[in-house]
Amino acid sequence: MGAGDFESRWLAPDVNAVWTRFLQVTHRLEHQIDRRLQERHGITHTQYEILVRLADAEDRSMRMSDLADSIVTAKSAVTYQVNKLSELGLVERFKCDKDNRGVWVKLTDPGLERLEQAAPCILSLVRELFLDAINCDQAAELDKLLGTWSDNLDEHDRHPIGDGPGEAGA
């Protein structure tokens, strides 16, 4: 792969193959984790992530908009997932005392219990499906690549590129 491959409007076949493989692997990994969590603990991976964020938050509570930002998803998607978790009694929603527009979500005791029951499943899956397949050097290289992508995304968050094809942005 040459640098010129990344400049053209269409991806070169070898670059496209890398991108496609990345998407397939990440989607398959997510699907495996999601399926196993649903079978064994009755929650999705996204719901698990919500429970984790709430467990780590002060008073096990977060404003809905902050929760959406923390799991990098749309507010409407978080609302849907929180509604499902609320139906299961794992979280509860409440209005903010200081701001009537603000909606908060709190992890309940049964929610914390479910999280604690599901955590070993997640850890096992991370090892089985992800870490056991690579050695320490590969893990270090992957960490370096993820850092590069993360930095690039941070830069694009600060200076978004244009929406049209081929626009380089300001």
Q: pLDDT tier at 56 (50, 70, 90 boundaries)?
A: very high
User: What is the per-residue pLDDT for 96?
Assistant: 75
pLDDT over 70 (residue 111)? yes
pLDDT over 80 (residue 42)? yes
CA-to-CA separations, 41 to 33, 35, 125, in angstroms, rounded:
11, 10, 14
Domains and CATH numbers, the chain: 3-158 (1.10.10.10)
Q: pLDDT tier at 119 (50, 70, 90 boundaries)?
A: very high
Six-digit token string for 140: 């270090």
How far is residue 48's CA from residue 84's CA, in Å, rounded to a whole number?
A: 12
pLDDT over 80 (residue 68)? yes
pLDDT over 50 (residue 114)? yes
Model's pTM, two decimal places?
A: 0.81
